[in-house]
Amino acid sequence: MDGINYFSAFLIGLAGGVHCVGMCGGIVAALRMVSPKGASALPYTLAYNMGRITSYTLAGAITGALGKIAADFVPLANYALSLLSSIMLLLLACYLGKWWTGLSVLENAGKGLFAKLQPLSKRFLPFKTPLSAVPYGFIWGWLPCGLVYSTLTWSLAAGNALQGAGIMFFFGLGTLPTLLAASAGSQYLVQSFQHSYVRQVIAVIMAIYATYLIYGAFM
């Protein structure tokens, strides 16, 4: 099941690429302005995304560990978390397919924390080397995002810190193609990821998988 969960997390990130371009596309484009003149943008973009995905992985490890603690000490917590994560996965499929966008309210939950972290990112500007883009990306990985928060809820029921980290790592990898395409200025690739048919197919797959998990929780 871990392999299926990781693949599903990757699909969530891939399908949410349109959302990622809207949230982070401007940031990725701005990386060119703070990178050394004449230098290739690719190393800085990769370093930035490495930091961003690292923040997702850390958050997944934390939520996975919290879920493990709850399962060990609270009766029926494991069952409740599994059911909650399955329901959230179904709602996330609806969010990705634009059938229901209520999960966007989750983005308000992290605004306070990010407001405190954002000023720290300015310490790493302008970039002198690609390495300096890693902590910058790590901070921006905490940007309030309903897509990230929903996937974190899923990692809460992953079973332990390692599996929770794995879910968020593969989610981060899924968001990478769109952001790299945006950085490279490839409108064709960005539009391909933005195509409604692609979103709908992935959303349907996720909805079927979530329904299967919910059904299994009651069996």
pTM of the model: 0.84
Nearest to 97 by CA among 181, 180, 210: 210
Residue 140 has pLDDT above 80, yes or no: yes
Compute how many other C-beta atoms are within 10 angstroms of the C-beta atom of residue 198: 15
Compare 76 and 190 and report the one with higher pLDDT: 76
The three-state secondary structure class of 40 is coil
Q: What is the mean pLDDT of the chain?
A: 81
Residue 20 has pLDDT above 70, yes or no: no
pLDDT value, residue 166: 95
The three-state secondary structure class of 126 is coil
pLDDT value, residue 126: 83
Q: What is the DSSP letter of 122?
A: G
Compare 198 and 190 and report the one with higher pLDDT: 198
Residue 57 has pLDDT above 90, yes or no: yes
102-123: pLDDT as tens digits: 777 776 766 777 777 778 888 8
Residue 148 has pLDDT above 60, yes or no: yes
- In contact, 176 and 54? CB cutoff 8 Å: no
- In contact, 146 and 107? CB cutoff 8 Å: yes
pLDDT value, residue 134: 93
Phi, psi of 77, deg, nearest 5:
-65, -40
User: Average pLDDT for residues 176-190, to the nearest whole number?
Assistant: 69
For the ranges 154-163, 178-187, 194-203, the maximum mean pLDDT occurs at: 154-163
pLDDT value, residue 56: 95
